[in-house]
Structure 1
């Protein structure tokens, strides 16, 4: 399987990286990991951040409560030939929030290279014989969200290599049940802090942003800190929800509230007719129309007259009950002004917030603003689903929109920014781990 100096895992990893994988993770499989019972991917919400997936779509079940499904771009590979990866178009993740539990299903159908014999449900005799045997599933995660998959045989060299590394304790564990040869979290953390330390010691930096072509241009608005920080990391603003740098999301912070995410609503008057929405619920003049102001769950907003509710959510058990529910703003007549489905909110949260670096900054007003980032940085990780839902319901996380239309040269120009924010003093409550680092001390 491998070269003279390579272990089976290292060889499979090298093959996957040659095919485009940027991360390679593996998991030992037990008897219950098969095509009928599905492959168990853990109980941690972080697996939804590790494994790239399509939109989460909820549906109710009779015995397991609400479950979410998300498509996967999974392809099986043959490590002994030059055969191209073979897609399994039915592959999907299934997430059961009640337990919580994540499983992979539909991973064999349609793929010529799928290891169907290795993944079939065992007979009672096979189950008994294989009680202490294992297979090793290796996944290669690519930049285009493709997942390369390979499985070793029962109690084969690959499984024995994986087991020995796990037992040694010298292997990096990620997302509850997966392992990784390298230590990406620590490696990414070091690279991030090295870059931020370099930026901090470089002093004040002129406000700017990268345009769509990746060219640095001046930025004159007051909210230039975030764009300037992103430009220093070569990040082009694009509204994507994926992390910014080596699995870390970057956010600049000075004082006040922190914007967590900016998903656009799925439905309501806002989606159907922005002009009508602003005229009915905004603050309007002849040249400008604005919709702003903090909206909290269950409390009427004095300015807009709208009430934000979490519909289809059981606050007592901290559980989503209705896949068609979500965050909904209604007027006094019960009409929907704007709404986000839980599908959209949870998809956005699952992709964006594995690890977040909140970077403090100072500002100097010259001909344009100049920013110095640091020395204080907060590294936060482990923002699970239950904590996020509860924080929204209790008003810790709230909707604070910045939506407007301006009359420019006789035409109305719109700007949409649906911000979900949290007060800085509460930011640590959203994460399992929050670490304060001073760049002045980092070497």
Structure 2
């Protein structure tokens, strides 16, 4: 049946790739992985960074406390026919911080061709018979955000092949409970390092960025290093909170702190009327207004007279307890100047930092033109959990350091937004499960 393929798992992987998948994952399914008890996707936040999903939406529940739900563009496929993928519009990921764990839910609802028989809760007799004969769930991650899915039955060639490969150590563990064929994992990392090596050995490059059409243009703003590196990977700036290259988020580091993310506030005066916000809290001149300054939790900023608070968070339990909370900037009257709900922060963090490559660079001027040399020091980081992230925010290890301004240009105020959350270089490792320091070879 599997012809030229060395194994059923490789056959399924190839089918997924023909449907557009750039990455193929699989897991052996327990009896409790069913439509009633949902499908277990891991005990931490890792899977939310691994699998594309919609915005996290908080919900308070009586039994499970605060939970976060995210829509999932799940599509079931049949690897043995040419049938088009069948969307499962009710599919969603649910993150349960109290336990913690992530589960897949609603994966059969309103689907034209769901694998219903393979996902039903087992009877007591079936549970006993299937205890040591798992099914296998295969997922294909498509760059446009779709997730392809296929379930191999109990005792099938594919499920047995997956189990054997796991037992022989021929897979790489991903997000705690998923697996990936080792060659696929090596290819992603090696491809990234190959590109970075070529960039380093190519020498200094002029400061630049790509425009909307993908064309090169000179660029010399403060964040030029990051844009220049992205241009060398062919990345057009788009503001989308997704990883940059083959699942890797690219970050540049020269000296000092690192900018982790730049999410826009989604509550307060800033969102409702940024002109009023800048006038009330910024440093204002006749032709320019600036909102800057390091903001730490519980300390009033000398620049803005605002105090950053982490509301709805229990530092002892290290968990969110109020879905309406978040990072809130308040003035001395208690008004919300700007704020980021936990939904906003966790959505951003869950999408951008599954695997992060920090690339050291040196900047210098040549004939009044700025240049960058990237490398040779690279730091690869994996596994940025939600609890270390929340703890770092509350302790101000991750701090808010905005650089937003408004300029009066041709009698019109033009805003440049830059809401930076930064972290000291020495604290980077505290945010991830593993870090790997690499020195790129000279030519």
Report 1:130-209 matches (<5 A): 130-209=130-209
1:229 match: secondary structure: helix
| 3-state SS in 2 of match to 1:349 | helix
- Measure the CA separation in 1 of the matches of 2:143 and 2:235: 15
Maintained 8 Å contact 1:222/1:369? no
Secondary structure of residue in 2 paired with 1:357: strand
Shift of 1:182: 4.1
Structure 1-normalised TM-score? 0.97
Residue segments in structure 1 that go unaligned for 5+ positions in a row: none
The 3 A distance-change label for structure 1 pair 266 and 5 is: closer
Q: Which residue pairs with 1:383 in the alignment?
A: 384
Corresponding residue for residue 74 of structure 1? 74
In the TM superposition, what is the alpha-carbon distance from 1:109 to its structure 2 partner? Answer: 1.4
In 2, Cα distance between equivalents of 1:292 and 1:222? 14
| Alpha-carbon distance between aligned partners in 1 of 2:399 and 2:347, rounded to the nearest angstrom | 18
2:40 corresponding residue in structure 1: 40
How far apart are residue 351 of structure 1 and its match? 0.5
3-state DSSP of counterpart to 1:280: helix
- 1:355 deviates by 1.5
The equivalent of 2:212 in structure 1 is 212
- Alignment partner, residue 350 of structure 1: 350
1:264 aligns to what SS in structure 2? coil
- Residue equivalent to 1:426: 427
Is it true that 1:415 corresponds to 2:416 in the alignment?
A: yes
- Once the two structures are superposed, the pairs formed by residues 223-242 of structure 1 within 5 Å of their partners are 223-242=223-242
Q: Give the Cα separation in 2 of the matches to 1:364 and 1:177.
A: 46
Counterpart in the other structure of 1:123: 123
Match of 2:337 in 1: 337
Kindly tell me the number of residue pairs found equivalent between the two proteins: 442
- 2:272 aligned residue: 272
Runs of 4+ in structure 1 off by over 4 angstroms are: none
Aligned to 1:440, the other structure's residue is in SS state: coil
Counterpart Cα distance in 1 of 2:261 and 2:328: 17
3-state SS of 1:187 partner: helix
Query: What pairs with 1:366-381 in structure 2 (closer than 5 Å)?
Result: 366=366, 367-381=368-382
2:192 and 2:155 map into 1 onto residues whose CA distance is: 39
Contiguous gaps of at least 5 residues in structure 2: none
Shift of 1:222: 4.1
Matched, 1:12 2:40: no
Q: Distance in 2 between matches of 1:25 and 1:161?
A: 14
So what's the TM-score if we normalise by structure 2? 0.97
2-structure distance, mates of 1:410, 1:268: 26
Query: 1:198 and 1:4, CA in 2 relative to 1: closer, same or farther beyond 3 A?
Result: closer
Partner of 1:439: 440
CA distance in 1: counterparts of 2:109 and 2:223, whole angstroms: 49
Alignment of 1:219-298 (within 5 A): 219-298=219-298
- RMSD value, Cα: 1.4
- Verify: 1:28 aligned to 2:28, yes or no: yes
Q: CA deviation at 1:4?
A: 4.7
Q: Distance in 1 between matches of 2:25 and 2:381?
A: 22
Distance 1:195 1:433 in 2: 22
Deviations 1:46-82 (A, max 9, x none): 1111111111111112222211110110011122222
Residues 5, 440 of structure 1: CA spacing in aligned structure 2 closer, same or farther, 3 A cutoff? closer
Report the equivalent of 2:102: 102
Alignment partners' CA distance in 2, 1:214 and 1:117: 48
Deviation of 1:178 after TM superposition, in Å, equals 0.8
SS at match of 2:441: helix
